[in-house]
């Protein structure tokens, strides 16, 4: 049986991260990212729920999640799936677009979480490979620029369709609940507290929030705490202290949920600043086509000098 493995990399100075992984047993809890998340399935079937529907990504397909787009994920069948994913912060996308010819253009949005675009998949693979292989900054900057422009070409510039919310008050209720959870992130907020803040019953609050945000208030609260812990860890705060500051019971509690949301442990995330860190056995063979490798410094991706 193939074991789960992962390689994770994150930039120490900009909102850019990448992971290459094979999962058979691991299942992602429903979550979202504060960045664009673009994955390319390399082998197997990758199943997930997003925007009210069930989807399956096949080899070569691009997964496109907009910022704050709730989704989960698991292997559809044995022996699991292998994929690459890049997380690119909206500010970084905006900065790249500002350097284009006219400096204008709205941030792209994807109405469908599955995109069949070989050129986009290739651009993301090249960027991903360069990041995990530790290519020079100039090379990765060029590949990032190319990947973002490919994203823009394939993305929409209008918000994707969302499920209709019959009760117009639901948006206001969800907004008040969000504010309360943000303001009291470290406190033990209960359903009655949210109902009191929103001026509605506990059931009405739960229903409205789930309709607007795509997840339960408790999942949203946990995600806020994970994002805080993640930010603290990235600045060098010790894991146990980050767990306490983000309102987790202890470090093991943080580790359990961090892994379910991000696919790697907090320790791996901390160690991955500027270079890729591997967890689990290595893959048997690389699935990255030669044409998709990052260019070597001072040469072409197609040179055979080594």
Lowest mean pLDDT among 19-28, 116-125, 178-187, 197-206: 197-206
Summarize pLDDT for 157-214 with one digit per residue, the tens. 655 554 445 567 889 999 999 999 999 999 999 888 999 999 988 888 888 999 899 8
The reported pTM is 0.77
How much of the chain exceeds pLDDT 90, in percent? 64
Residue by residue, what is the 3-state secondary structure of 76-138?
CCCCCEEEEEEEECHHHHHHHHHCCCCCCCCCCECCCCEECCHHHHHHHHHHHHHHHHCCCHH
Task: State which H helix or E strand residue 222 sits in.
Answer: helix 217-234
Summarize pLDDT for 29-56 with one digit per residue, the tens. 999 999 999 999 999 999 999 988 999 9
* Tokens 């792209």 belong to residue: 108
276, 20, 239, 66: CA torsion to nearest 10: 120
Mean pLDDT in residue range 284-299:
42
Do residues 173 and 208 make contact, with C-beta atoms less than 8 angstroms apart?
A: yes
């Amino acid at each position: 049986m193939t074991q789960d493995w992962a390689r994770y990399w994150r930039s120490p100075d900009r909102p850019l991260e990448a992971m290459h992984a094979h999962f058979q047993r691991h299942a992602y809890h429903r979550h979202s990212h504060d960045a664009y998340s673009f994955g390319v399935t390399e082998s197997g079937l990758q199943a997930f729920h997003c925007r009210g529907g069930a989807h399956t990504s096949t080899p070569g397909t691009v997964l496109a999640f907009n910022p704050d787009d709730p989704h989960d994920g698991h292997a559809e069948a044995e022996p699991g799936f292998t994929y690459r994913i890049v997380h690119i912060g909206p500010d970084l996308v905006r900065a790249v677009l500002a350097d284009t010819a006219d400096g204008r253009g709205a941030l792209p949005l994807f109405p469908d979480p599955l995109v069949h675009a070989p050129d986009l998949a290739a651009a993301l693979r090249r960027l991903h490979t360069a990041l995990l292989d530790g290519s020079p900054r100039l090379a990765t900057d060029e590949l990032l620029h190319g990947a973002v422009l490919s994203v823009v070409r394939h993305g929409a510039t209008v918000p994707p369709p969302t499920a209709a919310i019959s009760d117009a008050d639901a948006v206001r209720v969800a907004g008040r609940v969000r504010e309360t959870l943000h303001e009291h992130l470290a406190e033990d907020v209960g359903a009655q507290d949210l109902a009191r803040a929103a001026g509605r019953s506990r059931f009405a609050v739960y229903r409205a929030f789930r309709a607007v945000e795509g997840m339960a208030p408790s999942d949203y609260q946990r995600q806020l705490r994970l994002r805080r812990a993640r930010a603290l860890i990235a600045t060098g705060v010790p894991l146990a202290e980050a767990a306490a500051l983000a309102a987790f019971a202890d470090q093991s509690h943080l580790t359990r949920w961090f892994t379910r949301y991000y696919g790697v442990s907090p320790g791996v995330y901390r160690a991955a600043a500027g270079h890729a860190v591997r967890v689990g056995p290595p893959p048997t063979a690389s699935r990255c086509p030669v044409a998709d490798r990052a260019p070597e410094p001072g040469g072409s991706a197609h040179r055979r000098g080594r």
